[in-house]
Amino acid sequence: MPKIGYARISSSSQDLDIQISKLKNEGCDIIRSETGSGATRDGRTELGTILEFLRAGDELVVHRLDRLGRSTRDVLNLVHELDAKGAGLRVLEPEVTTAGDMGRMVITVLGMVADMELKFIRDRQRTGIDAAKKKGVYKGRRKTVDDEEIRCLVSKGISKAQVARDLGISRMSVYRALRSGFNESVRQPLSVT
């Protein structure tokens, strides 16, 4: 049974070495890794590649279930996709496999725990942000694109959605930049000649 390893970290400040080492020790023939959030499957191209090429009898191996996903629904959908292909899932810590009904039940429970853990992380983050705002310390994330650049592109007739895609920002950021430009022009005193 070919074993395909999948390793994931949430940010580039984390390290993949431990996961990759454990996957190699498990005998994974191929190991794919990536950096990205486990909250959703969006943007996780390496996982998509693995799922595309898994065949009947293959086994997807992950270090811990939360490396596969933090959403119970996503994890269960992945398990269902693997089942449909005739492939299996093995989690190394704690040792669980989808082979058999008990394994599926344990995967479901672990998926729920990962989902709940993500909710706790978000709650703690929100609490920290709220406390920082009350102290006047929190200013939000730094802008990656200058508002003037956004306004310039829109003034050239490029759609707001295209500007967002080209600059790698959300459409909401485009609207904020346009709104701030409008507010600044309204605040400026009119010169009388």
Determine whether 173 is an active site residue: no
What predicted TM-score, i.e. pTM, was given to this entire model? 0.61
**Three-state DSSP string of the chain:** CCEEEEEEECCCCCCCHHHHHHHHHCCCCEEEEEECCCCCCCCCHHHHHHHHHCCCCCEEEECCHHHHCCCHHHHHHHHHHHHHHCCEEEECCCCEECCCHHHHHHHHHHHHHHHHHHHHHHHHHHHHHHHHHHHCCCCCCCCCCCHHHHHHHHHCCCCHHHHHHHHCCCHHHHHHHHHHHHHHHHHCCCCCC
**Choice among 10, 33, 37, 180 that is catalytic:** 10
Q: What is the mean pLDDT of the chain?
A: 85
Domain ranges for the chain: 3-118, 147-187
Fold category of 3-118 in CATH? Rossmann fold (3.40.50)
pLDDT number for residue 171 = 87
Q: What is the pLDDT of residues 159-192, one digit of tens each?
A: 998 988 888 888 888 998 888 876 555 444 444 4
CATH topology of domain 147-187: Arc Repressor Mutant, subunit A (1.10.10)
Write down the pLDDT at residue 109. 79
Predicted local confidence at residue 184, as pLDDT: 53
Residue 90 pLDDT: 93
pLDDT band for position 193 (cuts 50, 70, 90): very low
- The model's pLDDT over 84-136, given as tens digits with 9 standing for 90+, comes to 898 999 999 988 888 777 777 777 777 777 778 878 888 988 898 888 888 88
